[in-house]
């Protein structure tokens, strides 16, 4: 089992992005201040302007920088601590949610994805999958916060043996046990009404409104590694997000 916690950048713009991120976090460039121009960065790191722009694009996408023609590129926020629009903090929330709840496995089975399921989980039809049907509970509650189906590929099926014991998200179990790295998570939220059978296991009334939250986890090869489809009754769960923005208009000098 090989854990590739590969932090060393593989491309030049990734390296540059990392370097700049560090300089922002370390306070060399402060929030509200301008960073050097593209031309200056180009000289300083001896790369082409295109490479500089790719790196800057990365930081912009992550909400750390904003650029305006004629002005320059301004630090919008400094990394890790705050939450940004890109969902960086949302993943942390996801992990926190998992760690704050306990899980009870009700059913297990092995199945082959038909057209419909394959479509919903972003796998090819015919893919063999292991499925677990679980309930999630808050610490002292008797009624579950959510019911959910969890799917992993057949070759990773054994992780489902541990999911109710390890107090960590299923996706990190797969990462640790099988050396894959999750790189992207896609989440879809739709509204639903509880069917009688669903209401029963959730100890809720039939046709209570609920959030249907599906998540799919992808590795570096864009392969679906894990998926979950959950029902969260509206009286027990709400989905909250907070975006911090800083629209840049002007700034006082230091």
Partner DNA sequence: GATTATTTGTTCGTATGTATT
Partner DNA sequence: CAATACATACGAACAAATAAT
Q: What is the DSSP string of 144-173?
A: -SEEEEEEEEGGGGGGGGTTTTS-S-HHHH
Of the two residues 67 and 204, which places its CB atom closer to DNA in the complex? Answer: 67
Can you say how many angstroms the Cα of residue 211 is from the centroid of all Cα atoms in its chain?
18
CB of 7 to DNA, least distance (A): 15
CB of 129 to a second copy, least distance (A): 18
Task: Give the Cα separation of 190 and 194 in Å (integer).
Answer: 13
Of the two residues 1 and 191, which places its CB atom closer to a second copy in the complex? Answer: 191
Question: Which pairs from 65-69 meet CB under 8 Å and 24+ separation?
Answer: 65/35, 66/246, 66/248, 68/248
Phi, psi of 54 (to 5 degrees): -60, -45
Site residues for DNA per CB under 7 A: 11-14, 37-39, 47-51, 53-54, 56, 67-73, 221
The option from DNA, a second copy, none interacting with 88 (CB < 5 to 8 A, set by class) reads a second copy
The option from a second copy, DNA, none interacting with 232 (CB < 5 to 8 A, set by class) reads a second copy
Other Cβ atoms less than 10 A from the Cβ of 10: the count is 7
- Give, as ranges, the residues between 178 and 217 that touch a second copy (CB under 8 A): 181-193, 207, 209-211
CB of 109 to a second copy, least distance (A): 26
Considering only 1, 27, 165, 221, the residue that binds a second copy (CB under 8 A) is 221
H-helix segments, 78-204: 88-99, 115-121, 170-178, 196-202
Task: Give the Cα separation of 143 and 150 in Å (integer).
Answer: 20
Site map (CB under 8 A) of a second copy, residues 225-254, x = contact: -------xxx---xxxxxxxxxx-x-----
Site map (CB under 8 A) of a second copy, residues 62-91, x = contact: -x--x-x-------x--------xxxxxxx
179 within 8 A of 193, measured Cβ to Cβ: no
* 3-class state of residue 137 by DSSP: strand
* 3-class state of residue 72 by DSSP: strand
Of the two residues 11 and 207, which places its CB atom closer to DNA in the complex? Answer: 11
The option from a second copy, DNA, none interacting with 209 (CB < 5 to 8 A, set by class) reads a second copy
Tokens standing for residue 157: 């099926």
- Give, as ranges, the residues between 116 and 175 that touch a second copy (CB under 8 A): 119, 122, 175
Residues interacting with a second copy, by CB under 8 A?
A: 5-7, 31, 63, 66, 68, 76, 85-92, 119, 122, 175, 181-193, 207, 209-211, 221-222, 232-234, 238-247, 249
């Amino acid at each position: 089992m090989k854990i590739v916690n590969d932090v060393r950048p593989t491309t030049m713009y990734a390296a540059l992005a990392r370097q700049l991120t560090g300089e922002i976090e370390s306070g060399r460039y402060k929030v509200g201040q301008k960073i050097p121009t593209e031309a200056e960065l180009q000289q300083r790191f001896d790369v082409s302007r295109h490479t500089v722009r790719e790196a800057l694009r990365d930081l912009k996408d992550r909400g750390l920088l904003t650029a305006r023609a004629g002005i320059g590129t301004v630090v919008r926020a400094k990394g890790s601590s705050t939450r940004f629009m890109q969902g960086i903090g949302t993943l942390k929330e996801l992990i926190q949610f998992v760690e704050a709840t306990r899980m009870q496995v009700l059913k297990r089975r092995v199945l082959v994805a038909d057209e419909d399921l394959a479509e919903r989980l972003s796998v090819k039809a015919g893919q063999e999958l292991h499925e677990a049907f679980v309930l999630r509970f808050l610490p002292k509650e008797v009624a579950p916060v959510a019911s959910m189906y969890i799917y992993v590929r057949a070759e990773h099926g054994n992780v489902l043996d541990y999911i109710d014991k390890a107090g960590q998200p299923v996706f990190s179990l797969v990462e640790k046990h099988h050396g894959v790295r999750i790189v992207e998570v896609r989440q879809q939220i739709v509204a639903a009404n509880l069917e009688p059978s669903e209401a029963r296991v959730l100890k809720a009334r039939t046709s209570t409104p609920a959030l249907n939250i599906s998540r799919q986890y992808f590795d570096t090869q864009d392969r679906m590694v894990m998926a979950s489809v959950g029902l969260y009754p509206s009286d027990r769960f709400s989905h909250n997000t907070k975006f911090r923005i800083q629209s840049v208009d002007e700034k006082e000098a230091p």
